[in-house]
Chain A
């Protein structure tokens, strides 16, 4: 009898502990973007970014400085591998959790976050301004469009604004008897130069980066901008993958990557956590690049960096140059309990635009950024500035992740499997119709 009583008591205690722990875990998860710290007077802000080593270093420095000047603020900084970043951010924001401050690209902002009301509009008070228009007045016109909804409401300020350029390996060019001061101006010339580079032993003359659907989509839109194609119709309601311009873009990709034979796409490095490995290691001779990529190569492979030159992006029609721009923006979770504090911190990050350019090669398109001292010291900044002038933001639409998956599949089948472009685009067009329909 006493033995049973002992068991009973034990079981009741165990049940209480386990169920109590379970309920605590179930009810306590996700505080909607950090605790409010009301009980201690400390403001805790959570801040998530993807992984890019130079950016992470500067973020850590700026956080330390901000915490020093704002002793009541504690910032929990978390970096998430690039391959998981989009999924983790979207899922956590959608469930009302997620960080107070996010740093995300304009595709995700306009395609997913803003339409789903996951972000808070910019709070001018956090910037010490009276209106969003006043904030916008500090930036080059049009550059904040990547963080606006259809009505023009602003949801973020740029941490980086990227124009598309082209990198060539001057040493490889000299090996092939090419003049690095006369880089290819058209894609046709890229093929011609590529054949010369091949003959000189540089077998990977030009490659795209095949990392994940987002990268496929960005290359495709870069080419489609130049050939007059698009993924969706102008009103964004129907697919346009069978239009002549879009077919021309895919044919151009197939020619550059497959039929010209100037490189083997199957040997291209596909590690999304460290893009541009082949260019950085001196294996690849030419690549489409962004400013941050050059900074990354400078830090990881300084010897190769010394051999690289950044030149304008080759064009389908040099008489009508078109480029692609994209941006990453600092924005605030709509579920955050301390939005104004979050915007104050963002305001501090944004105020350090010269350091972002000098330390990370991130251009923040504030008015007259080109005349800043770091801009003058950046060797290829004129090329990037010209790319901005010709650039346009990507097209986005509903269920954009699915659409990007469709583009990836079409490119894989056309480039890697050698299926006819007309066939893959016809199937892709139907898939996009189902996704956005």
Chain B
């Protein structure tokens, strides 16, 4: 039984890998490749959010800020100094990671919905800086003419070629996230999420790991930002507004909070669903909102949680089964005097 399961797993991985590698060659047109590239960028952010929120329990709605820091780093360095992507990437990661760590500082003090607000407030403030510091960011007009990358003399000048850069980043990002989760860091995250007082009593340095979780989230969003800047060749502050942070939150929850596979599923499903729904114009977002409600009310564990339920009900183990995540912490019933 175990052997069959692992054989199926390897076959699935092999087929999946081939499909991923061949995708741009068989895709119907460049636009569909672009959508998938964009999905890759969303997946990276969703992975970061999942590590901070799904594993470490840190409510963080400041993703737009991290993403923006990464994107602006790449945009400014490449347009003003002609710095190539492979130098922008580590710098963007570093700066976005530092932003993540800084945003984590209030988290040591405030909690739950207060924290949600503080992170929104900080993200809004960074967005306002992007709009107003025109000398640096060109203001609301945004920065255009960001060069597409050139790797080892090969110009990456179209969505099809850029696809492979995104693919490498997503695969590496996913594997690193998996390492983090199975490492002591990941176990400390989960301990903090489940009960930070108990974790502290067990000798876990809670503050350190909270800052670390958000810094890691920042790094993932930084990668997404650098990729985005070089892919779209144009950025402006409105892209990094709160609504896109919410989009990432939604895809993470639809996929499954506390599951890395969930981030991939959600990060692919939502942008694609959005494209399919584009045909019905204004009703698109109504449908989007209804879909969110349905997920929240009927499958709170997300798509991954649903497969887990199927496994439990049927007593089977699906090849892509994951370790069960603990219940998310509940908010206390308000008891008003």
Tell me whether A and B are bound partners.
Answer: no
B interface list, Cβ under 8 A from A: none
